[in-house]
Structure 1
């Protein structure tokens, strides 16, 4: 009997259960996934279902998966979980963010050390005291790659917040907490990776202010992500992310026991 090929696909994202490269770069926008995949050697589209678009290829000889996860933690965590189910063990999120800390400019990169879990989904999985932290090796690989590319970058804690637009409820102020930036999905990735014993981190391109309460609008020119300075930052960020994955693959290979699995 011929096996139904649909049985080999995971249910939500429709990605294959096996065969994907184990180092993944995850992005929000399906079009950005295609743009990053265009930088790879031998890139092929693996699947495209809903907002979840997946490519495979290689970067400087390292097999890489590139996947889009859409906007917001609840949908993104489904992709993260199913990528982990498919055998991905190293994740880097490459996205955009609004700057919070003074001195972080448009087009700069923010390398996340940890995230505030205001993502709208992990609160239903774990108590709020459980941290969302990046793997130290991911932070260091991203920092090294940013230096090699010559990309202006900063390290710090980011705020993952489910709501993009402010509403009638008062917005909690993190003034004085030293947060670097605000985005929408990273803490869901970091918690997923911690629960499963995987490596994860994130680098974000600053595309302006996300809310007037969080950023000096005069300094950023207001929120407009469709500017040349942001596009240039995205190009640098893609190179930094892929190079960091290469560095992490070398470290993973060095740490594997001789004769160990892939």
Structure 2
């Protein structure tokens, strides 16, 4: 007999809203869910914590996917299996271009596939691109919120170890904006499954070693007020962008 719950995240196979915001940390998912009306926790298993509720009368899912693309893509897959058609990732990232301030948003147009998992699923030539409507919705929501933001290509990288990162010259010359760990997996899965997907990333430091003196700055520290304030803004931007996308869908 088939279970009514999907095996990895333990979310229901049916009945979820079609629009979702995904975040890395379970506690961030819980904090985001507290903003929703009629919030209900629908699943909790491993790093996957999932809620439903409404934001400005739009039914939404909020779920955590943990750290790293191999685990995150399991949630993305199960959300798609459960009928979710639009997924926006709200995460944190290290700036890779001078002048991008901590706490600001980077809206991803595409991602470099160095994620450690999609290379095993799709040919390396297959692109990781955000849905244009997702990029525009995130940009509009950021403007309406007065949130400082940038658009560009991000680098999704499996390895995370400040002090060990070497910035490829081509990435520096072409203005790659930020580095994070999960978005390209979402974008590849979404395009392969016919979903709408995008991502907005809150800058929590300069993670390209050429841009920061690790010893002088005391090292990578994402637990600062400027970052927390940026995440709080970013969550609302992502939820507002979902509403804009839902209106386009006629929901």
What TM-score, normalized by structure 1, do the two folds share? 0.90
Unaligned runs of 5+ in 1: 254-261
Q: Is the 8 A contact 2:165 2:209 kept in 1?
A: no
Partners of 2:63 and 2:175 lie apart in 1 by 31
Q: Is the 8 A contact 2:154 2:177 kept in 1?
A: yes
Structure 2 counterparts to residues 77-156 of structure 1, below 5 A? 77-156=73-152
Q: Is the 8 A contact 2:167 2:208 kept in 1?
A: no
Task: Please state how far the C-alpha of 1:26 moved relative to its aligned partner.
Answer: 0.3
Task: Please state how far the C-alpha of 1:170 moved relative to its aligned partner.
Answer: 6.1
Aligned residues: 248
Unaligned runs of 5+ in 2: none
Structure showing greater radius of gyration is 1
Matched with 1:67 is 63
Q: Is the 8 A contact 2:94 2:204 kept in 1?
A: yes
Alignment of 1:231 onto 2:232: no
Q: Flag the 1:169–1:205 CA change in 2: closer, same or farther, 3 A.
A: closer
Alignment of 1:27 onto 2:27: no
Partners of 2:220 and 2:106 lie apart in 1 by 17
Q: Is the 8 A contact 1:165 1:211 kept in 2?
A: no
What TM-score, normalized by structure 2, do the two folds share? 0.94
Partners of 1:157 and 1:223 lie apart in 2 by 22
RMSD: 1.8
Partners of 1:45 and 1:130 lie apart in 2 by 36
Q: Is the 8 A contact 1:113 1:157 kept in 2?
A: yes
Matched with 2:4 is 8
Given candidates 233, 237, 250, the residue that maps to 1:240 is 237
Q: Flag the 1:151–1:166 CA change in 2: closer, same or farther, 3 A.
A: closer
Task: Please state how far the C-alpha of 1:127 moved relative to its aligned partner.
Answer: 1.3
